[in-house]
């Protein structure tokens, strides 16, 4: 979650309300924003591989908590660039939550679709030269979102190398990808990513559908796209799915998932 702190944490509150055992192991990964589900998935998969026990990844975002009062300039009818940035951000972002179970090899957990997916690898690329393009600033009235209109151009520079490197490390090419779960950070971001990866309208459709129906829910959104993908597309066994998330840093995260 990137929505701030509460103590005791959401993990303790939820585990108590859901009746989970007292010896449940919990880890909170916070303040990673829109890309958090992908490294979270990698962390959970590593735990499962080491301990041979199933694990649950939960992503929770409450963007509505970031709403700010109007500035004096906005009241006067002459909004500043910062005011316009807030208007765009709050028109795009929405509250949301999503969860996924990762199980040890050999145990089947239904994915609610045409295939179960194995986590093969997770990789990342951070462009620190544009770290001010996306983030949350702490102000006297809470968190204020920062979302630069230059974000799509940064993603355009890096996404192809990130994806092709991840695929080639496991002996795959773009032709082996049967499904794409792209974080719908916005319509421009989706257009740029689809163009750079030469994706068809059908391949990008799950991301556009989730953006249109739910908005950008930050970290849960790529899991929502993945669910929509599995329910609407036939992922052939042996083929792979690529999940992409983009967030503060400015960071691109990619997960390689194999269908069974």
Number of domains, the chain: 1
Q: Is the pTM of this model over 0.75?
A: yes
Residue 202's contacts (CB-CB under 8 Å, 6 or more residues apart) are none
pLDDT of residue 146: 74
Mean pLDDT score, 5-33: 85
Domain residues for the domain of 61 are 1-260
Mean pLDDT score, 46-53: 94
Q: Which of 174, 246, 192 is nearest to 216 (CA)?
A: 246
* DSSP tag of 63: G
CATH number at residue 242: 3.40.47.10
CA distance 50 to 46: 6
pLDDT of residue 13: 86
pLDDT of residue 195: 97
Q: Is 260 helix (H, G, I), strand (E, B) or coil?
A: coil
CA distance 228 to 40: 20
pLDDT at 112 > cutoff 70? no
SS (H, E, C) 153-192: HHHHHHHHHHHHHHHHCCCCCHHHEEEEEECCCCHHHHHH
Q: Provide the token pair at 124.
A: 């990342």
pLDDT at 138 > cutoff 80? no
CA distance 37 to 218: 9
pLDDT of residue 111: 54
């Amino acid at each position: 979650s990137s929505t701030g702190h509460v103590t005791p944490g959401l993990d303790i509150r939820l585990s108590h309300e859901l009746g989970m055992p007292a010896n449940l192991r919990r880890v909170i990964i916070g303040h990673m924003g829109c890309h958090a589900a992908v490294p979270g998935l990698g962390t959970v998969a590593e735990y499962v591989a080491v301990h041979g026990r199933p694990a649950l990844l939960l992503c929770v975002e409450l963007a509505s908590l970031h709403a700010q009062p109007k500035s004096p300039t906005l009241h006067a009818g002459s909004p500043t660039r910062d005011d316009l940035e807030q208007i765009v951000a709050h028109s795009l972002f929405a509250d949301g939550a999503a969860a996924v179970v990762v199980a040890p090899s050999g145990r089947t957990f239904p994915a609610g679709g045409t295939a179960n997916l194995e986590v093969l690898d997770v990789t990342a690329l951070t462009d620190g030269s544009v770290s001010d393009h996306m983030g949350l600033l702490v102000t006297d009235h809470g968190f204020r979102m920062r979302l630069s209109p230059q974000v799509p151009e940064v993603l355009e520079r890096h996404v192809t190398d990130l994806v092709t490197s991840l695929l080639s490390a496991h002996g795959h090419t773009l032709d082996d990808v049967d499904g794409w779960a792209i974080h719908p950070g916005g319509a421009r971001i989706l257009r740029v990513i689809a163009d750079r990866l030469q994706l068809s309208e059908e391949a990008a459709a799950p991301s556009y559908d989730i953006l249109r129906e739910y908005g950008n829910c930050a970290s849960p959104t790529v899991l929502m796209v993945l669910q929509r993908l599995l329910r609407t597309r036939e992922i052939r066994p042996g083929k792979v799915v690529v999940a992409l998330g983009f967030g503060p840093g400015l960071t691109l995260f990619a997960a390689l998932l194999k269908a069974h």
